[in-house]
Amino acid sequence: MGQSGRGQAWALALHGGAGPARSRSYEREEAHMRGVLDAAAAELEAGASALDVVGAAVAALEASGMHIAGRGAAPNADGVWELDAAIMDGATRKAGAVAALVGFESPIAVARCVLERTPHVLLAGAGAAAFARAQGCAPVPDPAAYYTPAASRPVAPGELAHGTVGAVAKDRAGRLAAATSTGGLLHKMPGRVGDAPLIGAGTWADGRCAVSCTGQGELFIRANVAADVSARIVYARQSLHAACAGALADMAALGGDGGLIAVDADGEIAAPFVSDGMKRGLANAGGLRDVRTFR
Ligand code: ASP
């Protein structure tokens, strides 16, 4: 699905994962996403930076407990909540990410701290947790009480066993940014890291586009989907829509499913998926406000 937004002063897209089941309604999730979209749109309208807006939007989606990320994440096969997140600023190409992070409410907030306060891009496991603690990030002292019971629900027939949240934006100054946060695959192996925190695979932003992916992470890593969108734009001179479709088709050809959201420097928005559906919300300065789960 594409949205013509040529020359938009700002543009924004959110996603809540490409794992929805047709057998249930997502009205609650869509209503919440509409609120997050409106708040983020107001910030962009007022001149906020794309980096701040995508970070705040993903934090709100994490906190909702409605998606497989943050509060809504499911534990791994050992019953431990190991979460992944990344944020990238297209204007500076600075990025921060955490992988297999245990014990903190907002992995995207920790990723932002990695971006701002370390010379590194990605911190994993115990080192990431020690860093988050030292930064004063909000801890989860009692995981069983904090994480929503909905997250540990059995997978419904036909439902894809994963989920993620993400945001991409172009701000009034023309800067692009992307953020992604996930609990990863349901029942994943301890230590498994998906595409979301890997810059270039699940999350990417530069001067051409900002991309946040959702789907079977292993395939997104093998196809390097997020950075491939930018490569197609610059090397193959493809439009944002063609680049997104091509990158996703390359991943799907390996046997994966999922989708992505992307914005480009013109304010164009693309939100294609090769799965049953994808929870997503789109907005731009021209008045676009569109939240939906299926086509
Ligand atoms: N891509 C995520 C992962 O593999 C899961 C998802 O987006 O649904 O960790």
In a domain, 161, yes or no: yes
CB neighbour list of residue 237: distance below 8 Å, 6 or more residues apart = none
Per-residue pLDDT of the chain (295 residues; tens, 9 = 90+): 455 556 889 999 999 999 888 888 899 999 999 999 999 999 999 999 999 999 999 999 999 999 999 999 989 999 999 999 999 999 999 999 999 999 999 999 999 999 999 999 999 999 999 999 999 999 999 999 999 855 455 555 444 467 899 999 999 999 999 999 999 998 899 999 999 999 999 999 999 999 999 999 999 999 999 999 999 999 999 999 999 999 999 999 999 999 999 999 999 999 999 998 999 999 999 999 999 999 7
pTM for the structure as a whole: 0.95
> How confident is the model at residue 22, as a pLDDT?
83
Ligand 1 center to 47 CA (angstroms) = 31
> How confident is the model at residue 155, as a pLDDT?
55
Give CA–CA dist 7/172, Å, rounded.
Answer: 11
Any idea which residues carry the catalytic annotation? 164
In a domain, 174, yes or no: yes
CB neighbour list of residue 231: distance below 8 Å, 6 or more residues apart = none
> How confident is the model at residue 136, as a pLDDT?
98
CB neighbour list of residue 144: distance below 8 Å, 6 or more residues apart = none
Q: Answer yes or no: is the C-beta of 184 below 6 A from any ligand 1 atom.
A: yes
For residue 70, the 8-state DSSP code is: G
Q: Answer yes or no: is the C-beta of 163 below 6 A from any ligand 1 atom.
A: yes
Q: How, if at all, do strands 2-3 and 269-270 pair?
A: antiparallel
> How confident is the model at residue 153, as a pLDDT?
53
Q: Answer yes or no: is the C-beta of 217 below 6 A from any ligand 1 atom.
A: yes
In a domain, 199, yes or no: yes
**27, HSE (Cβ side, Cα atoms, 13 Å):** 1
- Both tokens of 224, joined, read 């390097």
- Both tokens of 255, joined, read 């046997």
- List the domain range (segments joined by +) for residue 256: 2-19+26-283
- What is the tally of structural domains in the chain? 1
In a domain, 295, yes or no: no
Ligand 1 center to 71 CA (angstroms) = 15
The CATH number of residue 8's host domain is: 3.60.20.30
- Both tokens of 207, joined, read 């001067």
Nearest atom in ligand 1 to the alpha carbon of residue 183 is: 9
In a domain, 177, yes or no: yes
Ligand 1 center to 208 CA (angstroms) = 24
In a domain, 289, yes or no: no
CB neighbour list of residue 266: distance below 8 Å, 6 or more residues apart = 5, 6, 7, 8, 240
Q: Answer yes or no: is the C-beta of 212 below 6 A from any ligand 1 atom.
A: no
In a domain, 132, yes or no: yes
Atom 8 in ligand 1: which residue has the minimum CA distance?
163
In a domain, 292, yes or no: no
The best mutation among 182, 248, 275 to test binding of ligand 1, ranked by most ligand atoms within 8 Å of the C-beta, falls on 182
Ligand 1 center to 221 CA (angstroms) = 10
